[in-house]
């Protein structure tokens, strides 16, 4: 049998993966075959051994595999050695499918990286490094001392989530740098490239001349290849992450006006990019500062002293992440952030349970009841029992009770140190309430509003969690209401040391401490006014959900009229790329003029139902009052039925700020749920049901906007009906202005097929 002729090709500085593949008229994966083994790194001078299936390049071809082997073995080791010590070098690492190319460059002692997608520049050469307090910068005078590459591929199971199984498949490049100056400090850069994006981080090894340090700036740049369209909210503002999104070109963001991540952008070529971070711990949160020439730079949230990060070696930063997608919906189903976090540290987590809850909450926001004690106090034993009865009647496993503990009287936002997380108000018997709930098969969700008085919270945390566990409370909602930067940092004697931001290193460490402490008591968390999600739920599955954006409460009282209809068509592509969002949907009584005539929910009833599918959270609140659900009992059925734990997620269509349609498969049944929402404009969308099993019939229970529904003038009409569908069905989703559609899809019985009409 004749051997296939072999090409041996030496990589040149101008080469890319695609240019080499085109040169030899072969495939990307063929180019990345070295000695029969997949190699994720391509660097200048590297020798590639490529089977010559198509063209006869006499300068490259060896007539047999054996002759090529001998030549390749002789030359390759020499080339490898020369690249290790080259002062100005390029190293390339590709995604497993070869579509993303990341280049690390050392040029005149300065480190840069860039990223290309399908031969199109996404991130142009961007600088890397640090500046320190009372030490020379670590950003120049480097040489490369070593480099390593690796490939990794595994599937892992989420204990709960938007999908059950996630593939973690990447190619990795690690480059070790050392200064040529007298201190010879060392730094390592680690790049991981996935089919849907990349992450990179810094590692500072333990070393004599870099032990304790204070970072003044992380000089990571993201030099964009063009003036991308961006969806952004401002950073360093008093109301944390709770702002409406702006949509402008990067160049129109006011210079020296930092923005939060995730920062989602659209390129002129129609690609979608989102910059964020993963595995944030013992470090400051990263914002992005826009600078001239389409340049973004990391702008870390500082301590009150101006220092950004205090640390000691060995030390690793969070991952800086760039998600890349051809369709906006592919950003939603990218699990880059989760994959870059460490695996579960808690062991068996059967005690972490997703589910829906009702609670004493919305009535305070609209002004019917109060958190504080007095004649309108909401968290009474009697009212709690009423909610428990309602939850038991309709199968809700949990009831949230806010305002139960002492400390809410007067202006609690300014006196968080008065909160007592153990002692209830006189009209709330916590033992009686939790005992009553247990008899009804219901759990109470604890509530701990801190008003950002951190030391007061931490002093009581252990004792409070122990009490809650004893009472059968398995989930706690925490809150950190307070303007920024007004988080008081005190010494052990109670003296003020500084006023900190919610998102600096001080609070990042506090939030992590609470997660770890709660885990020891087998308590899961729902955190409001949080640090943004960076995927730590993989490591700590009890960190279930959080706020971190404008939730539905803004519709109750916000002076600007609440969340406009386009808001919920933006957050799936922005805030929710970080992780689950406790938006608290399900308000079916859209006006509440008796309590707050100037506010309302800016959407239709059908849209409120669809949000349970569109906005993912493992803990989902049915946020309206029990009497309102009884009033709208037919629409309420969807909230009763919908799952909060998913086997699979599909984004069927989407356009940021306009519309989105998402289908999710229940992890514990064969049911699928579909949610579709639009902005202030009505539209009709197609939803192919190709995700259903072949040769099976299904009943679609449809909750659609009525024919004359309109969020502004007629938001209540809803059509509820059933129809038979299969995987060949293409649903026509008619969405009213500011409307939506929610659908439950379950397998049909023989009887059902005969009784329910076919979809037409």
Residues annotated as catalytic are: 553
CA distance 156 to 166: 5
In which order are the strands placed within the sheet that holds 698-705?
Answer: 646-655, 659-666, 672-678, 740-747, 698-705, 718-725
The answer to whether residues 318 and 281 touch, using CB atoms and an 8 Å cutoff, is yes
Distance in Å from the first CA to the final CA of the chain? 60
In which order are the strands placed within the sheet that holds 47-51?
Answer: 47-51, 6-10, 61-62
**Closest of 632, 577, 579 to residue 608, by C-alpha:** 632
At residue 85's C-alpha, the angle toward residues 91 and 140, to 5°, is 75
Pairing mode, if any, of strands 718-725 and 698-705?
A: antiparallel
Q: Residue 728, Cβ neighbours under 10 Å: how many?
A: 10
Q: Locate the DSSP E strands across 452-572.
A: 475-479, 487-490, 496-500, 524-527, 543-546
- Give exposure, 619-656, as e/b (b: 16+ Cβ within 10 Å): bbbbbbbbebbeebeebbbbbebbbbbbbbbbbbbbbb
Indicate the DSSP class of residue 581: B
HSE-CB of 250 using CA atoms within 13 angstroms: 25
**Closest of 740, 635, 728 to residue 684, by C-alpha:** 740
At residue 343's C-alpha, the angle toward residues 534 and 536, to 5°, is 20
CA distance 112 to 715: 53
Cα dihedral angle (32, 33, 34, 38), rounded to 10 degrees?
80
């Amino acid at each position: 049998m004749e051997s296939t002729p072999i090409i041996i090709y030496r990589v040149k500085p101008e080469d890319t993966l695609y240019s080499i593949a085109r040169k030899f008229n072969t495939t990307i994966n063929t180019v990345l075959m070295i000695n029969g083994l997949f190699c994720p790194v391509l660097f200048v001078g590297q020798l590639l051994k490529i089977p010559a299936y198509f063209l006869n390049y006499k300068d490259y071809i060896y007539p047999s595999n054996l002759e090529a082997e001998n030549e390749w073995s002789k030359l390759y080791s020499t080339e490898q050695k020369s690249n290790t010590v080259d002062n100005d070098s390029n190293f390339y690492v590709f995604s497993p499918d070869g579509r993303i190319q990341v280049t690390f460059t050392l040029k005149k002692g300065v480190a840069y990286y860039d990223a290309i997608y399908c031969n199109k520049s996404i991130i142009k050469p961007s600088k890397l490094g640090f500046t320190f307090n009372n030490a020379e910068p670590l950003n120049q005078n480097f040489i490369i001392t070593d480099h390593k590459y690796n490939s990794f591929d595994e599937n892992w199971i989420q204990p709960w989530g938007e999908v059950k199984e996630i593939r973690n498949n990447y190619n990795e490049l690690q480059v070790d740098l050392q200064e040529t100056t007298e201190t010879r400090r060392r730094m390592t850069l680690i790049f991981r490239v996935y089919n849907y994006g990349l992450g990179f981080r810094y590692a500072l090894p333990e070393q004599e001349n870099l032990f304790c340090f204070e970072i003044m700036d992380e000089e990571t740049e993201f030099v964009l290849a063009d003036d991308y369209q961006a969806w952004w909210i401002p950073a360093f503002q008093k109301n944390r992450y709770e702002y409406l999104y702006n949509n402008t070109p990067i160049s129109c963001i006011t210079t020296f006006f930092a923005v939060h991540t995730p920062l989602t952008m659209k390129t002129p070529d129609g690609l979608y990019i989102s910059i964020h971070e993963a595995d944030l711990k013992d470090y400051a949160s990263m914002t992005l500062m826009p600078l001239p020439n389409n340049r973004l730079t990391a702008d870390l949230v500082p301590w009150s002293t101006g220092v950004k990060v205090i640390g000691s070696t060995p030390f690793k930063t969070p991952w800086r992440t760039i998600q890349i997608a051809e369709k906006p919906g592919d950003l939603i189903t990218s699990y880059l952030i989760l994959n870059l976090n460490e695996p579960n540290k808690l062991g068996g987590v059967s005690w972490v349970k997703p589910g829906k809850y009702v609670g004493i909450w919305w009535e305070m926001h609209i002004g019917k009841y109060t958190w504080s004690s007095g004649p309108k106090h909401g968290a009474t034993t009697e009212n709690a029992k009423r909610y428990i009865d309602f939850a038991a009647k309709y199968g809700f496993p949990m009831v949230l009770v806010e305002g139960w503990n002492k400390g809410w009287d007067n202006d609690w936002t300014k006196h968080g140190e008065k909160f007592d997380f153990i002692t209830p108000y006189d009209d709330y018997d916590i033992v009686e309430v939790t005992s009553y709930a247990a008899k009804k098969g219901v759990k109470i969700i604890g509530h701990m509003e801190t008003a950002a008085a951190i030391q007061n919270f931490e002093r009581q945390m252990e004792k409070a969690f122990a009490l809650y566990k004893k009472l059968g409370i398995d989930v706690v909602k925490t809150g950190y209401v307070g303007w920024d930067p007004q988080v008081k940092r005190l010494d052990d004697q109670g003296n003020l040391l500084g006023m900190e931001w919610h998102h600096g290193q001080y609070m990042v460490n506090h939030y992590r401490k609470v997660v770890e402490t709660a885990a020891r008591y087998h308590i899961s968390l729902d955190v409001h006014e949080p640090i943004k999600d960076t995927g730590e739920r993989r490591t700590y599955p009890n960190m279930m959900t959080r706020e971190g954006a404008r939730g539905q409460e803004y519709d109750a009282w916000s002076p600007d009229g609440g969340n406009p209809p386009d808001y919920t068509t933006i957050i799936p592509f922005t805030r929710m790329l970080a992780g689950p969002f406790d938006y608290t949907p399900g308000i079916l009584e859209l006006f509440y003029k008796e309590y707050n005539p100037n506010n309302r929910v800016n959407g239709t009833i059908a849209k409120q139902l669809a949000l349970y599918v569109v906005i993912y959270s493992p803990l989902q609140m049915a946020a309206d009052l029990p009497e309102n659900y009884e009033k709208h009992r037919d629409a309420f059925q969807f909230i009763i039925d919908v799952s909060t734990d998913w086997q699979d997620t599909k984004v069927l269509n989407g356009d940021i700020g306009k519309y989105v349609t998402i289908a999710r498969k229940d992890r514990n049944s064969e049911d699928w749920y579909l949610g579709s929402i639009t902005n202030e404009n009505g539209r009709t969308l197609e939803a192919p049901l190709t995700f259903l099993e072949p040769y099976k019939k299904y009943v679609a229970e449809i909750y659609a906007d009525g024919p004359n529904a309109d969020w502004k003038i007629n938001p209540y009409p809803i059509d509820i009906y059933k129809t038979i569908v299969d995987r060949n069905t293409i649903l026509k989703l008619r969405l009213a202005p500011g409307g939506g559609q929610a659908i439950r899809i379950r397998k049909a019985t023989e009887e059902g097929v005969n009784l329910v009409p076919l979809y037409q």
